[in-house]
Structures are given as structure tokens and as C-alpha cells.
Amino acid sequence: MTRARRTHGLSRRHFALALPSALLASGCTAPYKGTGRPGDPIVLTLLSHYASGELKAALQGPVDEWNATHDRIKVQTKAVEFTDLLTTFMVRQAAGQGADILHPYCLWAGQLVRAGVLRPAPPEHAEEIRRGYGEAAVRSSSVGGRLYGYPTEMQTYALYYNKRLLREAGIDGPPRTWRELEEAAYRTSRRDRYGNTLVQGFGLSTYDDSTTVGQTLALLNAAGGTFVSADGRSTAIDSPAGRAVFDLEHRLVTKGASAPGVNVYKAFPSGQVAMVVSAGWWTGSLKPLMGKDYRDVGVAPLPVPETGDRRATLSTGFMLGVNAASEHPCAAWDFLRWLNTAKVGVKSAKKVTTATRMSSLQVSVGSLTGRADDMRTLLGEGGDPNLRPFLDALAYAVPEPNVPGAQQAKSLLRKNIEALWTGQQSVDEALRTTRRQVDQEVSRAW
């Protein structure tokens, strides 16, 4: 599934949209255009990052179904690559060419709301979302306690491990605590006589945001910490929990159990990484990539610092919302309700049951949604057991903070994590610099 890769720089311009507040609140005040006859339908545009391959085909399926069964309202999909998605939202909005329906990364929700791009969900839709989705999914699609769309793709983080490598090191199963994690990492690490890494015990990688930052924030959540304060105006990483995570990662690197310059997305499938923290989307990619060697892959809940600690991890996600400038908000919300809440028949575990179209779409490409009931139905008893820990994590995952400066704050955190891993900064320096830079960013008057 799509990872939260590095994005282009953010625009800090405010886009003034001349829309009355009552229109934004209700979402359904704007009049329809067209006669409503088959020859003169309303055409809604949906802009997403599902630009190619199985993602594009998976979304087009339900869209084609809608268009075949609805004469008055049609939906047309448009797509750009994920790395261009945020910039496209902002630029097209400024030019008055924004799509009716948007599919943003939830991390950007605060920025898009502040810029007047997203329309609040009408009360009846907000109630459906709160009723049908888990807390993490609801929070990730909300800004200031107000919902702005239907959660779609939902990713939680857990520990991937190579059963064979652990077994060869005399380790019976995956670690449950950080002490066990460190011990397993050191015991499974291997280098050649020249000091080159043959096997990383624990994969830390500077490959992209979802790897560098995602695994660090997952560990931070597991330690009971948070990246951004509750009011969204400062960072909370310079805390005992944040220090514990940075200390752990620093030890793993300096003692040779982790080699951040190695691309874990290539090294783990090749048996060169014993353990790594990553999101559930990877499961669907590993199966075809590893073939019969996939039997060596296990997934376990993220280890916690001490036995008995409460479980927590990171969740990321996407949402489908309606453009504040759309001329057909009621039609757009109707389509989103049909796609995300209406149940249709599906086959699961040799029986026919029901699930939403969006949940079926996500499972078909190896992902999850925040609808735990759908996920249990669709995964069934015969599903891949490696997806179960990610499904279970929906109940205790902590969503990424989505304050207006969240994307830039994430980029700054990544920069300082990499400086720590490469020895350019000490733990103290990395925490101090992160706090100063991120505080400046999230407290900015956007």
C-alpha cells in the first residue's frame, strides 16, 4: 500500500474562499446544476493518489458501479502521484480548479482545513463516521474535534520478524519488551571480517518518512509518549519517553545492530534484517516478493518498554472529504456515504456476508480500514495471520498529529533522527534541536 513518502515543501499561503459559514456547516446548501436527467447529470471529480496499477483499478471498480446505477450524479476520477498530491490540492484550489472530492493523507488535514480546502462533514455523516469507525480513525479525520471526511486506508505499525533468523540465534519467539528486543537484535546481527553488515538485528532505515519517522513514533507511542502536545502548539518528544526511544535507537546503531544506510524494504525480504517496525501495507508486498520464503515472516505487536506496560503504536491514514468550494456538496457526501458505509454482499471464509465497498477495496490491495467489523469479516478465519496484529492494533493505535504544521514538523523530526543515527548529533542534541525546530513550526500563525 502507499507509504507516506517525502513530500514537496508546504505552501503557507492562505486561500480565501468566499463561502458563507452556513454553507460550510451544512455542506448541502448549494443548489444542484443541471436538470438531473440522464443526458444532463451532475459530474463530480474525485482527486486521489491512486494513479496506477492495482490501486487505480480498485478505486475505479466501485466508481464504475456507481455510475452504472446513478443517472443524475456521475463521478470522474483524477489522480496524481502521492509525492505531488498535497501541492496539487493547494495549487488547484488557489486557481479555482479544485476537485469536488479529495483523498488526502490525514497528516495534512489541519493544513487543508486552515487553508479553507476541506468542508466539515454534515452532522448526519459525522454521526455515521463516529458510529462505524474506531477511535484512531475518527481522530485522524478530525481537526479541532470536528470531522472532515470518511476514513479510508488505515495503517497501524507492528514488529515484522524473520522466524528463521531468530531461531538460528536460539530465540524462541518475537520480543515482547524493549530489553528482549535489544537482546534479540544483538544476537541476530552479523558482520563480515571487514565490518560490513550482513544481517541487521533491528532494521533502522533512512529510506523515507514512513520508515524513519513512522517506526520512531510507533516506539514513542509504545513508551507512552507523544510527538505533539495535546493543544497542538508544541512538541512533546523531549520527554522521558522520547529520550528512551532516542537512547534505544542510538544504542542499536552504535553497537552495530542497526545500519541506517541499508534499505530495509530490500534487505528484509532478502533475509538480511531480523526485525523491523513497519506498517501493515507491507504484508501484501512481501508475499509476492518473497515467494516460499514468506513462511519465515512473522508479525507481532510492538514491544513495550517493560512487562505489563499498556500497548500502544502509531496509526496513519487517508480520508475522503468534500471540497469547501464544491458546487455539489450534497451529491458528493451522498456518494461518500454509499462508498464508505453501505454494506454489500461479499464472500468470506466460505460464506456470504456483508462489508462496505471501501473496506473490500482496501483488503483487495492488502490494506485495512478503520472499520474493525468489516476487517474481521473480510479477513476471515482463513486470512493471512500476519494481518491480525495490525487489525488488533486498531483498538490501541495513536494517530499521527495533524496540526497545520504537521508535515513540516515530521520532516524536521526525520532530519534530526537521521542526524542522531549517523553520529552528527548526540541524544541530547537531537532532542533539543527537534524541540526548538518543531515548536517554532507548530506554533506558527498559519
Outline where 280-405 has alpha helix (H). 281-290, 329-340, 357-364, 372-379, 388-393
What are the E-state strand segments in 71-178? 73-79, 101-102, 142-143, 146-147, 150-162
> Beta strand 273-279 with 343-348: parallel, antiparallel or unpaired?
unpaired
Lowest mean pLDDT: which of 14-28, 104-118, 145-159, 316-330?
14-28
User: Residue 445 — very low, low, confident or very high, per pLDDT cuts 50/70/90?
Assistant: low
- The answer to whether 332 touches 99, Cβ cutoff 8 Å, is no
What whole-number distance in Å separates Cα of residue 34 and Cα of residue 28? 16
Model confidence pLDDT, tens digit, residues 33-77: 444 455 678 999 999 999 988 899 999 999 999 999 999 999 999
pTM equals 0.88
> Beta strand 101-102 with 73-79: parallel, antiparallel or unpaired?
unpaired
Model confidence pLDDT, tens digit, residues 372-401: 999 988 887 667 899 999 999 999 999 999
Lowest mean pLDDT: which of 6-20, 125-139, 260-274?
6-20
